[in-house]
Amino acid sequence: MAEVPPLRTRMLARDPSAQHRAATPLELLFDLCFVAAVGQAAAQLHHGVSEGHTAGTLLGYLMVFFAIWWAWMNFTWFASAYDTDDVPYRALTLVQMAGVLVLAAGVPAAFRDYDFTIATIGYVVMRVALVAQWLRAAREHPEGRPCTLRYAVGIGLCQVAWIGRLWLPHPWGEIGFAVLAVAEMLVPVIAERRMQTAWHPRHIAERYGLFTIIVLGEVVLAVTAGIQEDVADGGWSAGLLEIGTGGLLMIFAMWWIYFKHTVSDHLRDSLTRAIAWGYGHYLVFGGIAAVGAGLEVVIDSHAHKAHLGAAGAALSVAVPLLVYLVVLSVLHVQLVHAGGLMVLATIVGGALLLSTAGMADTLTVEFATLLMGVEMMLVLVAGLVIQHTEPRARELADRRL
């Protein structure tokens, strides 16, 4: 029988060293609501790039994805420290889930007309609900009150500014977005400077890993839908099989590369490392979702529906793959001290991806996609070999000394 949540309990900081701290069913439901917004952003990126409007579409994607990622991240770290799982906590989480669905509904207008009104309203709803959570923590957990109040005040002020930004004309609206994005990211840095909240490192690592899997699942769904549409129009072909195989290899390689290191033991070593890990995932999550959009662009190119050449379509996959590899490599170097050979493997792999995409006009976009999938697997294999041989080599060198 499912456990009935208490009507209300005191919101105290959780033990950051507690054993068996795992993601809750509520957190998983929360993630699924966010995937709806991620899917909308990736779909709009796919259509914009496929129609040849790459620059403007990419800017819109980065702006929308920031709102999605930042709201998800803030809830995740708060829940890791102050999840009481009582009725008020669940109710405020429901409000945040409603906010992300409003944001998702506003994504098409943000891309099509550069109208961020609905998306901003959804974002502010999520953030105001989180302010209420921080204020509750400040009232019921006196030991952490200075930190929690800094969060509540900082987030609250930013929301007032987000609403005001809606009246800024182009290009001041975009400049205001950048300024407010920086202001939002400074709030945790300032709030946790003297005292860190009691977030759990293994719980945080698990939450990020689960969301990575969910975004990868969104890529699978997007590519499957694109292939099914093409099959319905013209039937199966060798080119579609090449795209599908290459996409599957990319997804599998991205999954394994992400999970081949354990980072939870190092997250609480310093605030800088925790911030780097959390913030770096803007590009990790955004890169994964963009790979799905790029693969759909490749499918459009195969069906002669895309308004850009084969090389452009292939680059729409290669570039986000490169971003994913580079950012994740930097994070792993910082947190688990992955050596220079791992960075070298990433650089070589990225160069191969870009060169293959650049030759898509000659190779065909379908074969280039298959080759990029193989190259991602080679990056994975190289990383696994380095991961197992570098410690042994260092041990032998130490013995000789």
Burial string for 125-149 (b: 16+ CB within 10 Å, else e) reads bbbbbbbbbbbbbbebbeebeebbb
Region 201-400: CATH code = 1.20.1410
Mean pLDDT of 334-356: 85
What does the alpha-carbon distance between residue 398 and residue 401 come to, in Å, rounded to a whole number? 5
Residue 293 CB contacts under 8 Å (≥ 6 apart), including other chains: 42, 43, 45, 46, 49, 222, 316, 320
What does the alpha-carbon distance between residue 20 and residue 2 come to, in Å, rounded to a whole number? 19
Q: Can you give the pLDDT at residue 2?
A: 52
Is the pTM here over 0.75, yes or no? yes
φ and ψ of 216, to 5 deg: -60, -40
What does the alpha-carbon distance between residue 46 and residue 28 come to, in Å, rounded to a whole number? 26
Please state the domain extents for the chain.
25-191, 201-400
What is the amino acid identity at position 179?
Answer: V
Closest CA to 377 of 239, 247, 242: 247
The 10s digit of each residue's pLDDT in 68-86 is 999 999 999 999 999 888 8
Instruction: Name the DSSP letter for residue 338.
Output: -
SS3 content of the chain, % helix, strand, coil (to 5): 80, 0, 20
Mean pLDDT of 128-149: 94
Mean per-residue pLDDT over the chain, rounded: 89
* Count of Cβ atoms closer than 10 Å to residue 77 Cβ: 21
pLDDT surpasses 90 at 269: no
The 10s digit of each residue's pLDDT in 71-124 is 999 999 999 999 888 899 999 999 999 999 999 999 999 998 889 999 999 999
What's the first-to-final CA gap in the chain, in angstroms? 61
φ and ψ of 249, to 5 deg: -65, -40
Mean pLDDT of 126-139: 96
pLDDT surpasses 90 at 134: yes
Please, what is the angle between helix 310-336 and helix 271-302, to 10°? Answer: 160
Closest CA to 144 of 12, 8, 9: 12
Mean pLDDT of 269-278: 88
